Structure 1
Amino acid sequence: MESRLKVLQIFKALHRTRLDVFKDDLRALTAARQKINEEFRKNKEETSEEKINEMIKMASDVEVILRKTVIQGVHVGDKISLRPREGLLLENVPYCDTPRKKS
């Protein structure tokens, strides 16, 4: 029963992440929804606790990768404008050719 709860939680998390990552892109939203649902349906008869935990781990990793690495690009004329989400913006540290001295 506990693994069923974990499966439902990661299923919902993947769909929430999909909605955030592919915001305003109907084609990507639809494709991601279909792929998530297809993968979960394909494995719904699995009974091995070990396999289920493996798949939960993989789904969790996919959710993290989507959330932390995917950036939306929008065509604006003949250019592409990037729309990074708030969680992706990090402090910009300038590159320095000279290494720092260790204290």
Structure 2
Amino acid sequence: MDTRGKVLQLFKALHRTRKQVFRDDNQALEAARQKINSEFRNNLTVSSPEQITELLKLGSDVEVILRKTVIQGVHTNHNTIFLRPRKEVLLDNIPFNDNPTKKTT
């Protein structure tokens, strides 16, 4: 895939992730949309392949972080927040082991 295609693919992926992560929060959706668009616009004149590769890596890392670590919270009253975790954020619950065994090499 050419560089232009990779950039467009990343742009679309970031916007899809933004819509999932900030679902039903119009203020956060708009702020994220503006930030994504401004970052792409600010780097429009970058022509060095090394810089483009670095920016693509940064953008894909941001997309993964948003998708896997951000949990949406909704205030239900003055001291209660309702969390809406997505499937990507939930991890298997592994019980803590007080007596770990040492690996032998």
Fold shared by both chains (TM-score > 0.5): yes
Q: In structure 1, what is the equivalent of residue 66 of structure 2? A: 66
| Structure 2: 5+ residue stretches without partners | none
| Structure 1: 5+ residue stretches without partners | none
SS class of match (1:17): helix
Q: In structure 2, what is the equivalent of residue 46 of structure 1? A: 46
Q: In structure 2, what is the equivalent of residue 95 of structure 1? A: 96
Count residues with an aligned counterpart.
103
TM-score by length of 1: 0.92
Once the two structures are superposed, the pairs formed by residues 1-103 of structure 1 within 5 Å of their partners are 2-77=2-77, 78-100=79-101
Percent of residue pairs identical: 63
Alpha-carbon distance change, 55 to 101 in structure 1, aligned in 2, over 3 angstroms? closer
AA aligned to 1:86 is K
Which protein has the bigger helix share? 1
Say which is worse superposed, 48-57 or 87-96, in terms of deviation.
Answer: 87-96
| Residues 42-99 of structure 1 deviation map (CA, whole Å, 9 limit, x = unaligned) | 1111111111111011000000010110001110112111110012112212222122
After TM superposition, what 4+ stretches of structure 1 lie above 6 angstroms from structure 2? none
Q: CA RMSD in A?
A: 1.6
